[in-house]
Amino acid sequence: MAFVRIPNPQSETTIFLLMNIPFVDLHRQYLRHQTEIDAAMASVIQDSAYIGGHRVKSFESEFGQWLGVEHVVACANGTDSIEILLDALGVKAGDEVIVPALSWISTAEAVGTRGATPVFVDIDATYCMDPNLIEGKITDRTKGIIPVHLYGCPANMPVIMDIAKRHNLFVLEDCAQAHGAGVNGQKVGTFGDCASFSFYPGKNLGAYGDAGAMVTNRSDIAEKARIIANHGQPQKHTHVLEGRNSRMDGMHAAVLSVKLKHLDTWTNERIAAAAHYDELLNNHSSLAHPQTPENSKHVYHLYVVQSPDRDALALHLTEQGIGNAIHYPTPLPAMDCYQHLNTPASDYPVAAEACSRILSLPMFGELRDEEIETVVRKLS
């Protein structure tokens, strides 16, 4: 159980409500594997190996084997991983990079802070970038595409890769919410030139703090990314460029190595929970539930429905002690920080409508069937 704070509309006071069904419950996950996790964390303290070290190297190797890529470069967080990869790919001021209109801001922010321009493409019914709209956004300044596998649903990578190849563009996959998702049996993160992963605690594979990784089958990208993430030094005190400090902690690596062994099980549990939601929601004509493209594997980082009365429904669930959230309330091109780009609302009608209707319901591996049934019952 957890508490949530909401404003009291009748006064300036605050109401604290007990969440009987949390949006996510990391404590349940911890208790399930407490012995393994405690031992891993204790070993880091015993060795005093807090920054980098053999546990980070071990996790890089393990994650690479699980994913099926040659190179994994651990870093401090998911946002850093996108920024560093863009630097390694040579993105600079004056360049354009195509991104989806619906995502967490890191996707576009990483482009803008490189001095380049994010160019927004609307989403389709899967909440991922609509590949049919990409070519209409390509100019002579376009350098690459960042598809986001939003909510755990894979973008249409075969089509996106075909477009990128024909136009000589790089593809950087944003896999922050999609550990284990795939298309035609191939995991996301292995299609493009490189990919970014986040291990924020609430992700399908999460550390106990911020952590991230960059993955690629290209040795040139891996080498450049590793140097950038370590103050521009390929070896200690030899600085070949101005880089940054973005290293994974040994504690996070130790925890991630334990959790990685259980990730496939947790993924199957999320898929089963989503199927139970789907079955129960078939009788709710006013609610649209997630769509999974053909020949694709959705890993349900989030279970997102749409309601014409989203705000009222969200408040009702909260009052009933059921956790919920909105991912995300505003399309990226509509945010204040991107008004200078003058992207017309007509460029992202699907994202705009979705942002007014989407609601994320409780979703985690330990979510029980009876809890799902309670959530759906309270949706009525």
pLDDT class of 240 with cuts at 50, 70, 90: very high
Residues 6+ apart with CB under 8 A from 232: 239, 240, 241, 242, 243
pLDDT class of 287 with cuts at 50, 70, 90: very high
Domain ranges, ordered by start, for the chain: 2-30+262-378, 33-258
Q: Determine the pLDDT at residue 286.
A: 87
CATH architecture of 33-258: 3-Layer(aba) Sandwich (3.40)
Residue type at 241 in one-letter notation = L
When pLDDT is averaged across residues 183-210 and rounded to a whole number, the result is: 98
When pLDDT is averaged across residues 22-51 and rounded to a whole number, the result is: 96
| Cβ-contact 193, 221 below 8 angstroms | yes
Q: Determine the pLDDT at residue 12.
A: 53
Q: Determine the pLDDT at residue 283.
A: 83
* Mean pLDDT lowest among 11-15, 171-175, 371-375: 11-15
DSSP three-state, residue 41? helix
Same fold for the domain at 2-30+262-378 and the one at 33-258? Answer: no
Q: pLDDT at residue 16 above 50? A: no
Tokens representing 3?
A: 């508490």
Query: How far is residue 118's CA from residue 14's CA, in Å, rounded to a whole number?
Result: 39
pTM over 0.85: yes
Q: Which residues of 111-142 are buried (b: 16+ CB within 10 A; e: fewer)?
A: bbebebbbbbbbbbebbbbbbebbeebbeeeb
Tokens representing 190?
A: 């292995």
When pLDDT is averaged across residues 22-39 and rounded to a whole number, the result is: 98
Indicate the CATH number of 2-30+262-378 among 3.90.1150.10, 3.40.50.2300, 3.20.80.10, 3.40.50.300: 3.90.1150.10
Q: pLDDT at residue 5 above 90? A: no
Q: Which region holds residue 274: left if phi is over 0, alpha if psi is between -120 and 50, else beta?
A: alpha
pLDDT class of 123 with cuts at 50, 70, 90: very high
Q: Determine the pLDDT at residue 18.
A: 59
Query: By C-alpha distance, which of 269, 265, 328, 322 is closest to 300?
Result: 269
Tokens representing 109?
A: 């922010």
Residues 6+ apart with CB under 8 A from 60: 72, 73, 74, 213
Tally of CA atoms within 13 A in the half-sphere of 71 that contains its CB: 20
Query: How far is residue 265's CA from residue 373's CA, in Å, rounded to a whole number?
Result: 22
Query: How far is residue 131's CA from residue 153's CA, in Å, rounded to a whole number?
Result: 14
User: What percent of the chain clears pLDDT 90, i.e. is strictly above it?
Assistant: 93
pLDDT class of 19 with cuts at 50, 70, 90: low
